[in-house]
Amino acid sequence: MRANVHWIGAVDWDRRLFDELIPLPDGTSYNAYLVKGNEKTVLIDTVDPTMANVLIDNLHQMKVKNIDYVITNHAEQDHSGMLPQVLKLYPNAMVVATPRCRSLLIELLLIPESKIITVEDRENLSLGDKTLEFVHAPWVHWPETMLTYLKEDKILFTCDLFGSHLATSDLYVKDWSTVYEAAKRYYAEIMMPFRTVIQKNLEKIQELQIDLVAPSHGPIYEKPMLIFKAYEEWVYAPPKNIVVLPYISMHGSTKKIVEYFVAALVERGITVKQFNLTKTDIGKLATALVDATTIVMGSPTVLVGPHPNVIYAAYLTNALRPKLKFASIIGSYGWGGRMIEQITGMLSNLDVELLKPVIIKGYPKEKDFKALDKLADDILNKHKHSIH
Ligand code: FEO
């Protein structure tokens, strides 16, 4: 990467699920970095324990005899999980972390207290001819996180922030459109709930001169402005003229309602991103939520409530806290139910206005199509007045 700065992580081409929750259609990587000063050697982050052999082989191949510090930017185990093994291999090594990270490492990985040095925001650590500066960046996406800036080489090691779940043989970003999609998906799934603190962190790192952004997932940025500009757009820009429509249909009524309604929105010049929840990858749904102004959930009635997959989509949307401004519900029922209350009750984190839902008895009829047209008109009007 630079003189005496090396990538020594692992590319996980085969992993397809992260945290037993997030689909990884393109695999991922766990980037660890070795920085050798003329006095001290540091390892920045480790790798997921499933890739233990790769990290250990890399250390052996590079003939690393001694590690003075293991910089732990984040306590989540895909980066910290190898700490116990690394400390066994390099018994002189001390872990460097924020005070909050220290307590998590003790609790999660049983690291002895005596092995951890805590660092304050903007504290420096000299490696001889190289200097590390630690920048506390809480809540990207855990409370204990920090970034590490290598001053002489102008490299910012950002751990999860600016990452992408993308297995690639490219150490640096080469194919920006592919990385952009993976980084946006990553932002949507992991960072979006923390938009407001990310704003503060983006402001904080503007003070640094940065030549390389080296995250702990996905390729390294030689042109940091690519990812900075993308984050500015995702974090700050107003939402677009887009409706996201996750739905389920059991016997075809809701499907007909969705088809009619999507056509009505498209006629009005609104972009629709439609997701059949029996088939969709939830990462695609999360990504679509980054730019959407409105969500409309489509559901049949199951045991007086929405279909469980719709409940999951509502829960996920609420947890991810996208920029949405409006919400509504369309769907069908046979003999009654409390679908509207149940779905709206799950969207309490969102600052959305509820537009009058259209819940139809059985298969849609002429008057129902009119109600759907009216909802499409309402959305168009709301978008006209709220998107600048
Ligand atoms: Fe890549 Fe929050 O761990």
pLDDT at 136: 97
- Which ligand 1 atom minimizes the distance to the CA of 30? 1
Surface-to-core class of residue 110, CB atoms within 10 Å of its CB (0-12 exposed, 13-18 middle, 19+ buried): exposed
Segment 141-196, tens digit of pLDDT: 999 999 999 999 999 999 999 999 999 999 999 999 999 999 999 999 999 999 98
Which residue has the CA at smallest separation from atom 2 of ligand 1?
76
pLDDT at 18: 86
Nearest to 261 by CA among 354, 378, 383: 378
Nearest to 151 by CA among 134, 136, 133, 137: 133
- Which ligand 1 atom minimizes the distance to the CA of 142? 2
User: How far is the centre of ligand 1, averaged over its atoms, from the C-alpha of 97 (Å)?
Assistant: 15
E strand or H helix at 97: strand 94-97
Bridge partners for 292 per DSSP: 240
- The token duo for 172 is 């640096």
Percent of the chain with pLDDT over 90: 94
- Which ligand 1 atom minimizes the distance to the CA of 77? 3
Percent of the chain with pLDDT over 70: 100
pLDDT at 387: 79
pLDDT at 109: 97
Surface-to-core class of residue 96, CB atoms within 10 Å of its CB (0-12 exposed, 13-18 middle, 19+ buried): buried
* Long-range contacts of the stretch 18-21 (C-beta < 8 A, 24+): 18/78, 18/165
pLDDT at 17: 85
Q: What is the mean pLDDT of residues 187-207?
A: 92
- Which ligand 1 atom minimizes the distance to the CA of 160? 1
pLDDT at 172: 98
The whole-model pTM stands at: 0.96
165 touches ligand 1 (CB under 6 Å)? no
pLDDT band at 19 (very low <50, low <70, confident <90, very high): confident
Strands 41-44 and 33-36 turn out to be: antiparallel
Residue 363 DSSP symbol: S
User: How far is the centre of ligand 1, averaged over its atoms, from the C-alpha of 170 (Å)?
Assistant: 20
Whether 96 shows a pLDDT value over 80: the answer reads yes
Segment 225-257, tens digit of pLDDT: 999 999 999 999 999 999 999 999 999 999 999
Contact 28, 53 (CB under 8 A): no
- Which ligand 1 atom minimizes the distance to the CA of 190? 2
C-alpha to C-alpha distance for 296 and 360, rounded to whole angstroms? 15
pLDDT band at 21 (very low <50, low <70, confident <90, very high): confident
Segment 25-74, tens digit of pLDDT: 999 999 999 999 999 999 999 999 999 999 999 999 999 999 999 999 99
- Which ligand 1 atom minimizes the distance to the CA of 141? 2
78 touches ligand 1 (CB under 6 Å)? yes
User: How far is the centre of ligand 1, averaged over its atoms, from the C-alpha of 244 (Å)?
Assistant: 27
160 touches ligand 1 (CB under 6 Å)? yes
User: How far is the centre of ligand 1, averaged over its atoms, from the C-alpha of 161 (Å)?
Assistant: 9
Whether 15 shows a pLDDT value over 70: the answer reads yes
User: How far is the centre of ligand 1, averaged over its atoms, from the C-alpha of 265 (Å)?
Assistant: 38
pLDDT band at 376 (very low <50, low <70, confident <90, very high): very high
217 touches ligand 1 (CB under 6 Å)? yes
HSE (side-chain half, CA atoms, 13 Å) at 124: 9
pLDDT at 144: 97
15 touches ligand 1 (CB under 6 Å)? no
Other CB atoms within 10 Å distance of the CB of residue 264: 20
For 362, residues 6+ apart whose C-beta sits below 8 A from its C-beta are: 253, 332, 333, 334
Nearest to 83 by CA among 49, 57, 107: 49
C-alpha to C-alpha distance for 291 and 243, rounded to whole angstroms? 9
pLDDT at 343: 96
User: How far is the centre of ligand 1, averaged over its atoms, from the C-alpha of 225 (Å)?
Assistant: 22
Whether 23 shows a pLDDT value over 70: the answer reads yes
- Which ligand 1 atom minimizes the distance to the CA of 159? 1
Residue 50 DSSP symbol: G
26 touches ligand 1 (CB under 6 Å)? no
Other CB atoms within 10 Å distance of the CB of residue 134: 22
36 touches ligand 1 (CB under 6 Å)? no
Whether 388 shows a pLDDT value over 80: the answer reads no
45 touches ligand 1 (CB under 6 Å)? no
79 touches ligand 1 (CB under 6 Å)? yes
C-alpha to C-alpha distance for 6 and 218, rounded to whole angstroms? 15
Segment 320-353, tens digit of pLDDT: 999 999 999 999 999 988 999 999 999 999 999 9
Q: What is the mean pLDDT of residues 80-89?
A: 98
C-alpha to C-alpha distance for 101 and 142, rounded to whole angstroms? 9
Which residue has the CA at smallest separation from atom 3 of ligand 1?
76
- The token duo for 50 is 């499933």
- Which ligand 1 atom minimizes the distance to the CA of 216? 1
Round the average pLDDT of the chain to a whole number and report it.
96
Whether 80 shows a pLDDT value over 90: the answer reads yes
